[in-house]
Structure 1
Amino acid sequence: MSAGLESLKHISPDSGFPIAIHPHFSPKIRDHVPPEPLRKEIVPDKDRGSFADPEKKALFSVAKPVALTESIGTLLENVQLSQLTPQQLDELALLVNERGVVFFRNQDLTTEQQVKLFEHYGILDRHPAQKDVKHVVIRGSTEDHREINKYTPWPSGEWHADTSFEINPPSYSLLRMEEHPPVGGDTAWISGYGLYDALSDSMKKFVEGLHAVHTSRLQYDTILDLWGVGPNRPPIDSHHPAVRTHPVTGLKALNVNTGFVTGFAELKKFESDKLLEFFQYHLHSADDHSVRWKWDVGSVAMWDNRCVLHRVIPGSYEAPRRGIRTTVFGEKPFYDPASEGRAERERRLKAATNGQSKESNGEKLINTPA
């Protein structure tokens, strides 16, 4: 696939390697006119997770939840998505809000059913390079991104939340696998709640005062250069809170990804670069807040872009990999200073429970006859 890069057509006679990192003089990039205008902010309907029973009794009456890690990822067994009721779909949304990503195996969904199911969660979104208005085809990656990044500015193999640069970035995404190699092509996710919790208290306070610069410009140019297809919309730069508050859980999540974030609005260039360098380390060292999913045909993953990042794991497999992804619009990211981190909430609730227990034991002692 990388053979389409314009850079690879301009070879140095001295080294045998391309002489240009990213040629903006390429007519493919220079002359493209997007057919659609930039989007305007919308206010989506109240999140379906807000309508769910906190105990998820309807969902768990038909599905067995299996936590894959402490921080992120739940597998739901013995259930078909196609059979879930609206109430169960709402409870699934809340589970995704809390666990970041939820997995299913051996699903019987068709593309038409998947689209209809996902319309329950809001207005279907459309990736800038997506041609079908209701879904996008997702393939794997057999490229060496370490090499490709020498010649194109978009770090395509990095951690990201889907189109985080939009004014209204997506909330939920669902990927259903139709073709897949027996080995390779995994996807990994990281918890934004966990990434926030893993920061020191001083760093938390510092980052909470920043806006991350999310841009589609690097992807825009690379799509034109590498894929030879035109993005639907012009490139956009958005400043979103570096720590965002989830509208359903009320928890703080780190809102910085290395796929689309190029800096921080409030910082000077070298300050910004060094902080971004730290976050690259922070994301790639977050094994305690990540989960890696081995796909097979019929597998499904549903995740919440507001509280997780993800990336495809490149490989050298030759068998086809093809999935169908549906996505819906979310709210414009916001930060509520009164919100709390997940670990902070757990400590608070534990302390409250212990306090009640001590109080109860005290009353029992007082009322027990000598």
Structure 2
Amino acid sequence: MTDNSLEYPAGLDQDFSLTVDAADAGKRLDAVLAAHLEALSRNRIQSLIKSGDVTVGGAKIVEPKYRVNEGDALTLTLPQAEDPEPKGEDIPVSVVFEDEHLIVVDKPAGLVVHPGAGNWTGTLVNALIHHCGDSLSGIGGVKRPGIVHRIDKDTSGLLVVAKTDQAHQGLAAQFADHGRTGPLERAYSALVWGAPSGLKGTINANLARSQANRQKIAVVKTSGRHAITHWQVKERFGNAEQPALASLLECRLETGRTHQIRVHMAHIGHPLIGDDDYGSGFKTKANRLDEPLKSLVNGFHRQALHAGLLAFEHPANGKTLHFESPYPDDFANLLSGLQKF
């Protein structure tokens, strides 16, 4: 197949055309497009065909199994992406602090922070729109909460969210600085497999989207984004048979990249317990444990990561605010089981 314009945009918002060559002649229309457009799933392509967004030789084809011929000109017109307008939803929120400028919440594991693909509802943003109501004076002219940092869906812990433009700008500047010149602090508790050889260390390794799986992040050598994680051992767990089973670490971020702690810890050979994305190779370790720890580990269905400390300068009055969150029950139970090992 000859590609006439296949520098594919990340936004998926432009038309492109393909000309069928001999190698693809006789194949299904959806299969041909899927083979050359990795950014779109086969199901998504089939949906676009059925919606009349694909033409062959200028004629709309709405049947995915249509067989193409050599020389056919295929055109796919991607509809403009629609920006969702999050609505308030009555979702319980654990509020740690709130005033007219900002709100600090203790997010439970399982709650997505911001609406996005596959999660347009049921997010923390939906919950805050409902909770804050008219106290949201507007971020960028829209009454919405200002998200200045995020934690993964299955990570629990503290988040600060702006309610005004002034607060949003002030908080965003602090998080962009990562505490280098101000009081911003973020500390995470992590339960990891194994025991690092030292008591503390620093991981300095660039991160980028994995070429093998675009849903995952990977350490890269020559590109990606600068990422630094500082870790300190707080407790080690083991016995005579397995002296270095697991450890409780405190991790502090000098940068804030997607999945940073999870990828960095896996990179040094100590992935988080429960992390199926970056620690799946350690699943067999749980099967060698005795009860009840075996059941605790196998029943822990998220990465063992908790954002337990958050400190920052209030963007309106300049005071330093400091918050700590206790371990949620699932994390506390797993930690207790490891301590008894």
Above 0.5 in TM-score? no
Computing the radius of gyration from Cα coordinates, the structure with the larger value is 2
Greater relative contact order (Cα < 8 A, sep 6+): 1
The structure in which a higher percent of residues are strand is 2
TM score, norm. by length of structure 2: 0.25
Task: From the two aligned structures, give the one with the greater helix fraction.
Answer: 1
